[in-house]
Amino acid sequence: MRIMIDTNVLVSASLFPKSRLGRAIKPLSDKYTIVLCTAIIDELHDVYDRKFPDKLSALEQFLNELSFEAVYTPRISENLPQVRDKKDTPILAAAILEDVDVLITGDSDFSEVEIERPEILKISQRGQVTLPEGLRAEYGLKAGDKIFLEKTKNGYLLRAPKKNLLEYAGCLTSSYSIEEEEDRAKEGLSRHVLENAE
């Protein structure tokens, strides 16, 4: 899987390497191909030069320890989807042209772009991930639903929880009373035990 990480996420991860986000980047780069376009790398340096000049060594250490593929950012992106903030359009163009599967960003402008690939995942300041609308619709997920993150040998898997038996209550109707249903269940269990004891 090819993953592009936007500048704002990299700034947070490099400034706060012990944060949840900071600790997640290295394992991500161990499992997948991290793709950084020249525009992201240049913007990362610009942000540090302007806002954190005393922390440039932390940025250099972060980039030196991060395994990534550096790719060219095209200047012309006329036939590709446009982002509201025109500075972000070349980054999206690089992600599309480099066949990136996922773009991880904290920039809501990317979320407004309607494209199939790359999937755009937005991370909030608190480390929360916003699933794209199409993905939520495809799996019937809505606000407040719980999903599980499972570690697998190939990475992480997001899955919806299995249905609780109580969610099915009342979906089947019966002409038997509860007491009769209990008696029938006991008879069935007894019959099963007797058949398997022979």
Q: What percent of the chain has pLDDT over 90?
A: 29
Give the residue from 91, 125, 121 showing the smallest Cα distance to 16.
Answer: 125
Q: What is the pLDDT of residue 119?
A: 67
HEC sequence for the chain: CEEEECHHHHHHHHHCCCCHHHHHHHHHHHHCEEEEEHHHHHHHHHHHHHHCHHHHHHHHHHHHHCCCEEECCCCCCCCCCCCCCHHHHHHHHHHHHCCCCEEEECCHHHHCCCCCCCEEEEECCCCCEECCHHHHHHCCCCCCCCCEEEEECCEEEEECCCCCHHHHCCCCCCCCCHHHHHHHHHHHHHHHHHHHHC
This model's pTM is above 0.85: no
| Ranges of the chain with pLDDT below 50 | none
Contacts of 165 (CB under 8 A, 6+ apart): none
Q: What is the pLDDT of residue 107?
A: 77
Q: What is the pLDDT of residue 164?
A: 58
**What's the sign of the alpha-carbon dihedral 177, 181, 186, 188?**
positive
**What's the sign of the alpha-carbon dihedral 131, 21, 155, 60?**
positive
> Which CATH architecture group holds 2-130?
3-Layer(aba) Sandwich (3.40)
For the chain, give every domain's residue range: 2-130, 165-197
Q: What is the pLDDT of residue 192?
A: 65
Q: What is the pLDDT of residues 39-72, one digit of tens each?
A: 999 999 999 999 999 999 999 999 999 999 999 9
